Chain A
């Protein structure tokens, strides 16, 4: 099974490799975004002497990490799924000897392999321009990675659910934008969640997205107490099980609605 997934993921990664300029543009794009955020926060800091409860160096590190992580949190398989459904190419996946979920998990891994390379490159380049703080401890760093890995599974499952809507509507463009904005806001990609109103933070605490970006970055900065980390991990695992059941049940129904477009 593993070798099949790796084969699929390699195919997808090679697709990216065919267009080498994309890699540089994607990485450059990260830099531009970081610059905007950092300038805004530097201005705020200079005015008020406070950067959202963090020091200015911490805030810079926050944004460098968040924007570097952005490919991991927002990229995915929805474009591929939607493209396949719209062009009536879905027989490629549905007639393959692996399940639809396995097929796209393979593709998702390929996407993440590429996203990770972009993320790391962007992070390294940012280090040249700004002073980025080192992780507060090795353990914090490892916990951060673990949360991101769990987060990837959650992202995969949410993308599957969004993608399956395409079986009914033939287009998921709007849904995809919605998915990206919900994740951006609730994961703390726009701004640290502590800056949002209380009720908003409570919702964010329930949803699994906060643990994909905000918590790992705050772990990195040493702002999270390690005692509470287990609760977060259990919360993520519960979400994974829940989303998996929803996605599977959804697929069972959706696959009956398959129409093959174009002949």
Chain B
């Protein structure tokens, strides 16, 4: 709908001063879009043919085209792929070409719909790097939807969280983490345990998530208690052999939000 492909049944969309489903062509010249499961490449032809067509269609000046092509080829490692037929490429190879193609005409806004879906770690890494580079060099706005939270963690500055069609969060990524990620996790290796913490000790200032004879996992908030105090408390009940604290990952926070444990 943002790209103008679909017409909204109610309401209005405005992108950079244009209504995308009305001024299609004007809008199309300014944007680029990758849909994870679709392709803009010509299936039967070598990749480079699709690139040349885009050059013609968007009237990209020769110099700019060359420079972009060289630049993209390098970052995304396309050297060996350009002369191959699209149908012979693997998913990851195709996606790399696809993304290069989308950025070829220096669009102002790029929509990436699950660009890393089903790709291996190395390709994902490359694509993230590419997006970051282009964003820095050319100031392209990139709107990314994804199921892979590493994508967000790596690439994004601003997060918009949707649940059942409603915006439930809209703000910078770091603020998001601060707001919902105050809770820290800590895990301990213990021995000589004297009591069952969950069953026998009420009023602990932290939550025990898992416990058995050898290990302990807890969650706590910095506002209430710090790690030294926790260790002091724990040492009353057992010996601590080793410990390890971690900030919650975006993934953990989101899981909680969508499970309804946290209310925005």
Q: Could you tell me which B residues sit within 8 Å of A by CB distance?
A: 3-7, 21, 24-25, 28-29, 31, 33, 35-40, 42, 44-45, 49, 52-53, 56-58, 85, 113-114
Contact = CB atoms under 8 A, between A and B. Distances in A.
24 contacts: A7-B52, A7-B57, A8-B53, A14-B44, A14-B49, A91-B3, A91-B35, A91-B38, A92-B38, A94-B4, A94-B5, A96-B28, A97-B28, A97-B29, A97-B58, A99-B24, A255-B7, A258-B5, A259-B6, A260-B5, A260-B6, A260-B35, A262-B38, A263-B38
Interface string A95-139: 111110000000000000000000000000000000000000000
Nearest to A16: B44
Contacts, number: 75
A52 interface: no
A91 to B, nearest CB: 6
Contact of A89 (B39, B44, B58): B39
A14 B3 contact: no
Nearest to B87: A18
A200 to B, nearest CB: 42
Interface residues of A, number: 27
A3 interface: yes
A95 B45 contact: no
A15 interface: yes
Given A4-B56, A94-B24, A262 B5 contact: no
Contacts of B44: 14-15, 18-19
Interface string A226-263: 00000000000000000000000000000110111011
Nearest to B117: A263
Given A4-B57, A255-B7, A263 B45 contact: no
A131 B258 CA distance: 79
- Candidate in A88, A95, A96, A255 with the most chain B CB atoms within 10 angstroms: A95
B56 A95 contact: no
Nearest to B35: A91
A4 B59 CA distance: 9
Contact of B42 (A15, A98, A256): A15
A11 interface: yes
Nearest to A6: B56
A14 B45 contact: yes
Interface string A68-98: 0000000000000000000011111011111
Nearest to A100: B24
A227 B40 CA distance: 50
Contacts of A14: 44-45, 49
A90 B39 CA distance: 10
A92 B29 contact: no
Contacts of B24: 94, 99
B57 A89 contact: no
Given A14-B45, A91-B3, A98 B38 contact: no
